[in-house]
Amino acid sequence: NSTKILAFAGSTRQDSFHKKLVKIAAQGVTQAGAEVTFIDLRDYPMPIYDQDLEEKEGLPESVLALKQLFKSHQGLLIASPEYNSSITGLLKNTIDWVSRSEPDEPPLALSCFRGKVAAIMSISPGGIGGLRGLVHLRAILQNIGVIVLPDQKTIPNAFQQFDGEGQLKDEKQQQSVQALGKKLAELAMKLQ
Ligand code: FNR
For residues 172 and 146, what is the distance between their CA atoms, to the nearest angstrom? 28
Cα-based torsion angle of the residue sequence 130, 134, 136, 140 in order, rounded to the nearest 10 degrees = 150
Give this complex's ipTM. 0.99
Q: Which fold has domain 4-191?
A: Rossmann fold (3.40.50)
Of 144, 142, 120, 143, which Cα lies nearest the Cα of 132?
120
Question: Could you please report the per-residue DSSP string of 22-86?
Answer: HHHHHHHHHHTT-EEEE--GGGS--PPP-HHHHHHH-S-HHHHHHHHHHHT-SEEEEE---BTTB
For residues 153 and 101, what is the distance between their CA atoms, to the nearest angstrom? 31
For residues 77 and 136, what is the distance between their CA atoms, to the nearest angstrom? 16
Atom of ligand 1 minimally distant from the CA of 79? 31
Cα(82) to centroid(ligand 1), Å? 5
Distance of CA 81 to the CA centre of its chain: 11
Q: Quote the radius of gyration of the chain (alpha carbons, Å).
A: 16
In tens digits, what is the pLDDT along the chain, a chain of 192 residues? 799 999 999 999 999 999 999 999 999 999 999 999 999 999 999 999 999 999 999 999 999 999 999 999 999 999 999 999 999 999 999 999 999 999 999 999 999 999 999 999 999 999 999 999 999 999 999 999 999 999 999 999 999 999 999 999 999 999 999 999 999 999 999 998
Cα(102) to centroid(ligand 1), Å? 33
Cα(156) to centroid(ligand 1), Å? 12
Question: Is the separation of the CB atoms in 18 and 26 below 8 Å?
Answer: no
Domain boundaries, the chain: 4-191
Which residue ranges have their beta carbon within 6 Å of ligand 1? 9, 11, 13, 16-18, 81-85, 124-126, 130
Write down the pTM of the prediction.
0.98
Cα(88) to centroid(ligand 1), Å? 9
Give, using CA atoms, the residue closest to atom 5 of ligand 1.
Answer: 82
Atom of ligand 1 minimally distant from the CA of 13? 29
Question: Is the separation of the CB atoms in 122 and 131 below 8 Å?
Answer: yes
| Phi/psi of residue 126, nearest 5 degrees | -80, -175
